[in-house]
């Protein structure tokens, strides 16, 4: 398997370096969903630095202390500690205080939530340890966690024991779309979008891909094989967050199948409205789903909005894998693959809008367009894929995203023009601009109109000409 280079974490590394170079004790929680690249980021950061890396596990506390002591003992070449480990948290704090009194040492505790599982008051123990032992040292402590719910409760929430002790916190999010191109520079950008529609931009998923294979061979080998890493991935992640995940699975499947409004989810699942609302709030708090509202909405808290899955792989899994697991378990993967092939391009078209919004940020970096915020817009009768608002110039960008084998013609532009005339967001001197994204290019008439009307045309397979 090809070794992929480290990509896309420039700002996170810069933040860590800046904090590291500040004197005194530092504690930085680093959190984000599983497989997003937290460990890879930290290992890149600690290269050529004095650093102890400890990965906690779902084992009893005394074994955790012993293993931690062995990791610390190996770093300091302390044979007795390597053999015996720590026997208490006080012993650990006293030892680290002595060693980090006058030298900068990084201590990484990966999967901190496992320490919480082993001891429910561990955050309070660390709070006391910091106050009594570590506060006056040069220790740079990184607490990492994939369970966002537990990290929120124990570290990040303002009522959490460690909230007031943290120097900063870093949420590691998915990479940007162009990172997939960095990993697979030989693939066309259309194929990059197809990979995005399956795996999102989670590095641990993308690294499993054999880039010499076509997209359906990749799906067959990486996902439909029931013993593969990705087949049970979503199940595994959700069962770590929820003791009784069944109802969450039903709701997430409903959203993946296109039921985005609260009323649609209620009707599709058969659950009570109050129950669905409560579950949706929990899923939002864990960054599993997101609530979208029309970008021009000036009272967003009062908007009903629509719900979508944050993660493209979750979206793909709940749409194609979860409803068909019986066939996969029976070894009938050809039946599932046939269904995926029949619906795949339609699936890609449904997430193409998300990809185009990401590409707009790349266009902004190149000063091709400017905006303050970006999203979608819809009313009871109309919908516009992209609406980007620039408060500094009272400019609105209106955009459409077409994943089709046909070239985009003037009919798409004139329809967008008509819909845009119904939106008056800026009361004075509003300026409208237009952008069209296409998988298959544009007709000659559309190209001619674009030149005379200052319409930005973006052919996906030529996107690199715009942004590199």
| Per-residue pLDDT tens digits for 255-276 | 999 999 999 999 999 999 999 9
**pLDDT, tens digit (0-9, with 9 covering 90-100), for 54-102:** 999 989 999 999 999 999 999 999 999 999 999 999 999 999 999 999 9
pLDDT bucket at 306, cuts 50 / 70 / 90: very high
> Which whole number is the average pLDDT over 392-405?
97
> Which whole number is the average pLDDT over 310-328?
95
CA distance 202 to 176: 9
CA distance 246 to 439: 38
Asked if the model's pLDDT at residue 420 lies above 50, the reply is: yes
Task: List CB contacts of 12: < 8 A, sequence separation 6 or more.
Answer: 41, 170, 172
Asked if the model's pLDDT at residue 204 lies above 90, the reply is: no
Question: Cβ distance 316 to 347 under 8 Å?
Answer: yes
pLDDT score for 265:
97
pLDDT score for 7:
58
Q: Which SS3 state, helix, strand or coil, does residue 199 take?
A: helix
pLDDT score for 159:
77
> Which whole number is the average pLDDT over 101-130?
93
> Which whole number is the average pLDDT over 118-136?
93
CA distance 320 to 312: 12
> Which whole number is the average pLDDT over 118-140?
94
Which residues are 308's β-sheet partners? 290
Q: Which pTM was predicted?
A: 0.85
> Which whole number is the average pLDDT over 290-298?
92
Query: Whole-number mean pLDDT of the chain?
Result: 92
Ramachandran region, residue 401 (left: φ > 0; alpha: ψ -120 to 50; beta: rest): beta
SS (H, E, C) 210-229: CCCCCHHHHHHHHCCCCCCC
CA distance 467 to 128: 50
> Which whole number is the average pLDDT over 311-315?
94
pLDDT: is 241 or 65 the higher one? 65
Alpha helices in 215-332 (DSSP H): 215-222, 233-241, 246-256, 262-269, 273-285, 312-316, 325-329
Q: What are phi and psi of 146, to 5 degrees?
A: -100, -25
| 343 CB-side CA count, 13 A | 14
CA distance 229 to 248: 22
Write b or e for each residue in 337-356: b if 16 or more Cβ atoms lie within 10 A of its Cβ, otherwise e: beebeeebeebbbbbbbbbb
Between the CA of residue 205 and those of 58, 116, 200, 219, 223, what are the distances in Å? 24, 27, 9, 11, 10
pLDDT score for 1:
44
pLDDT: is 107 or 241 the higher one? 107
pLDDT score for 6:
59
pLDDT score for 264:
97
pLDDT: is 97 or 161 the higher one? 97
pLDDT score for 176:
87
**pLDDT, tens digit (0-9, with 9 covering 90-100), for 29-39:** 998 888 888 99
CA distance 254 to 63: 42
Task: List CB contacts of 362: < 8 A, sequence separation 6 or more.
Answer: 176, 177, 178, 466, 467
pLDDT bucket at 308, cuts 50 / 70 / 90: very high
Query: Where are the strands (E) in 346-404, listed by range?
Result: 373-378, 383-390, 395-402
Which of 18-27, 131-140, 285-294 shows the lowest per-residue confidence on average (mean pLDDT)? 285-294
CA distance 228 to 218: 12
pLDDT bucket at 8, cuts 50 / 70 / 90: low
Asked if the model's pLDDT at residue 406 lies above 50, the reply is: yes
Looking at the chain, the whole-number percentage of residues with pLDDT higher than 90 is 74
């Amino acid at each position: 398997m090809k070794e992929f280079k480290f990509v896309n974490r420039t700002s996170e590394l810069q933040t860590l370096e800046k904090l590291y170079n500040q004197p005194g004790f530092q504690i930085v929680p680093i959190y984000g969903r599983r497989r997003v690249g937290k460990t890879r980021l930290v290992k890149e950061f600690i290269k050529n630095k004095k650093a102890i890396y400890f990965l906690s596990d779902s084992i009893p506390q005394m074994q955790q202390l012993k293993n931690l002591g062995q990791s610390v003992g190996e770093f300091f070449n302390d044979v007795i500690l390597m053999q015996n480990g720590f026997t208490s948290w006080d012993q650990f704090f006293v030892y680290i205080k002595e060693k980090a009194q006058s030298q900068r040492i990084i201590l990484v505790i990966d999967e901190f939530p496992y320490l919480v599982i082993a001891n429910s008051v561990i955050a309070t123990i660390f709070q006391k340890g910091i106050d009594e032992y570590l506060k006056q040292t040069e220790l740079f402590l990184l607490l990492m966690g994939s369970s966002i719910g537990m990290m929120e409760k124990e570290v990040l929430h303002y009522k959490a024991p460690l909230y007031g002790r943290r120097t900063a916190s870093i949420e590691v999010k998915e990479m940007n779309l162009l990172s997939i191109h960095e990993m697979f520079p030989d693939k066309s950008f259309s194929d990059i979008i197809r990979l995005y529609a399956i795996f999102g931009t989670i590095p641990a998923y993308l690294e499993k891909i054999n880039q010499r294979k076509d997209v359906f061979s990749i799906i067959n080998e990486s996902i439909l094989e029931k013993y593969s890493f990705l087949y049970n991935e979503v199940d595994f992640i959700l069962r770590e967050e929820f003791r009784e995940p069944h109802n969450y699975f039903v709701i997430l499947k409903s959203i993946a199948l296109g039921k985005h409004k609260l009323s649609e989810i209620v009707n599709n699942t058969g659950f009570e409205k109050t129950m669905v609302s409560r579950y949706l709030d929990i899923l939002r708090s864990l960054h599993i789903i997101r609530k979208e509202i029309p970008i021009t909405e000036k009272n967003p808290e009062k908007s009903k909005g629509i719900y979508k899955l944050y993660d493209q792989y979750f979206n793909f899994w709940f749409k194609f894998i979860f409803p068909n697991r019986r066939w996969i378990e029976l070894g009938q993967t050809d039946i599932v693959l046939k269904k995926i092939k029949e619906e795949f391009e339609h699936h890609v078209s449904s997430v193409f809008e998300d990809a185009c919004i990401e590409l707009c940020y790349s266009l902004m970096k190149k000063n091709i367009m400017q905006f303050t915020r970006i999203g979608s817009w819809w009313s009871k009768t109309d919908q516009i894929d992209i609406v980007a608002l620039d408060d500094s110039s009272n400019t609105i960008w209106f955009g459409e995203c077409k994943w089709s084998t046909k070239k985009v013609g003037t009919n798409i532009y004139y329809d967008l023009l008509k819909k845009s005339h119904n939106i008056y967001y800026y009361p004075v001197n509003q300026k409208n601009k237009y952008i069209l994204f296409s998988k298959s290019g544009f007709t000659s008439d559309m190209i001619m109109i674009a030149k005379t009307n200052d319409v930005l045309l973006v052919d996906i397979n030529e996107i690199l000409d715009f942004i590199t």
